[in-house]
Structure 1
Amino acid sequence: MSTSVIEGAALSAADRCDRCGAQAYVRVTLSSGFDLLFCAHHSKEHADKLKQVALEIHDESERIS
């Protein structure tokens, strides 16, 4: 299965990382239909595993200045 990076609904400051609570910049949609939210740090830390299980990855980490 391949993982695609897609355009989806924009993440806002209210969206928080499921791992640490920081602002989320990455939304990962799983085959179950559930979404996981990650800050840029944790999305990079878990990128290899996330690519294996994700249906879609919405990445807005380029917004970080």
Structure 2
Amino acid sequence: MMTTMLSPEIVTVPSLVDRCDSCNAAAKAEIALSSGGSLVFCGHHANKHADRLVLLASKVTVEDGFEWAGQSHPA
């Protein structure tokens, strides 16, 4: 049996109001986890962990103008 990995849905919004869960900087991405719950990251931490996050996310909301490294990640 083969398992197919799907890329998370990526939504762009004008701005995010939350703070990064890692360093408290302004949020640039909110990651809705497939298992439930969500994580919020600044641009640095979102891109630093993009390879892992893209595998865990069901939906990623990014601030307009932010280039998330996970957007071009092959599933």
TM-score range, shorter chain: 0.7 to 0.9
Larger Rg: 2
1:4 aligns with 2:24: no
* 1:1-65 equivalence runs, <5 A: 1-7=6-12, 10-12=15-17, 15-60=18-63, 62=65
Give the gaps of 5 or more residues in structure 2: 1-5, 67-75
Listed one character per residue, the Cα deviations across residues 19-64 of structure 1 (whole Å, up to 9, x for unaligned) are 111111100000232110000010010011000100000011616x
Equivalent residue letter for 1:57: V
Equivalent residue letter for 2:10: V
Q: RMSD between aligned alpha carbons? A: 2.0
Q: CA deviation at 1:2?
A: 2.0
Length, aligned pairs only: 61
- Decide whether the 8 Å contact of 1:16 with 1:23 is kept in 2: yes
Runs of 4+ in 1 over 4 A off after TM superposition: none
Q: TM-score, normalised by structure 2?
A: 0.70
